Amino acid sequence: NAGVTQTPKFQVLKTGQSMTLQCAQDMNHNSMYWYRQDPGMGLRLIYYSASEGTTDKGEVPNGYNVSRLNKREFSLRLESAAPSQTSVYFCASRPDRASTEAFFGQGTRLTVV
Amino acid sequence: GQQLNQSPQSMFIQEGEDVSMNCTSSSIFNTWLWYKQDPGEGPVLLIALYKAGELTSNGRLTAQFGITRKDSFLNISASIPSDVGIYFCAGQLRSSNTGKLIFGQGTTLQVKP
């Protein structure tokens, strides 16, 4: 029962480096989401994909890009990492955008130095 | 953007005590969710509420959807050490056609044995 799988679990980047966070779900869900979690800020939506082939900006999209590679996979890319992007990143999926329950991955802890 | 105000921000209680936390907003929601996040893990859904006034229990947890549709509370009775974690409320706006969930800032709960 894998659910939502994120890789890597931990990453340290230097300012200006790029990287892609991977997310895959095996529940045949249509909607997928990327959040970042910062102390005292809760979970803030970066980008989401309501269905395969579509992506939309969330609350805090600046500095990020996403790709919905197929129904299973939704990746988040940092083209030029900045210290302000140090955070814990969570991927989530839902059967569709009308379904309320979101299933989360275990998170990626990213540090930008 | 839209915001949920969750309180208290943190709680440190004795094992066996009851706990109460709440979320409020100036906007109307059609769904309220309560999640728990264990250290190093992603959030997991505890309770989902779909109707104003709805009161739902899950073991020692009870949550209610406020009559005004602008608030919700979560109670934990007879707390135990494994209740430790961060509790998040989340809501889906009645006006939303995207299905996006908005999260509160979280309540960090610590339980002293």
- Please report how many Cα atoms fall inside a 13 Å half-sphere around the Cα of residue A31, on the Cβ side: 19
Is the per-residue pLDDT at A25 higher than 90? yes
The tens digit of pLDDT for each residue in A41-89 reads: 889 999 999 889 999 999 999 999 999 989 999 999 999 999 999 999 9
B41 contacts in chain A (CB < 8 Å): 106-107
| B105 at interface of A, judged by CB pairs closer than 8 A | yes
Question: Number of CB pairs < 8 Å for A and B?
Answer: 60
Place of tokens 């959030």: B43
From chain A, pick out residues whose CB is under 8 angstroms from the CB of B31: 100
No. of helices (H) and no. of strands (E), chain A:
0, 11
Residues in chain A: 113
- Who contacts A68 (Cβ-Cβ below 8 Å, separation ≥6)? A32, A49, A52, A53, A54, A55, A74
C-alpha B106 chain-centroid distance: 8
Q: What is the pLDDT of residue A1?
A: 61
Q: For residue range B27-37, list pLDDT tens digits in order.
A: 899 899 999 99
Confidence of residue B97 (pLDDT cuts 50, 70, 90): low
Residues of A with CB under 8 A from a CB of B: 4, 31, 35, 40-45, 48, 50, 56, 58-59, 90, 92, 94, 96-102, 104-107
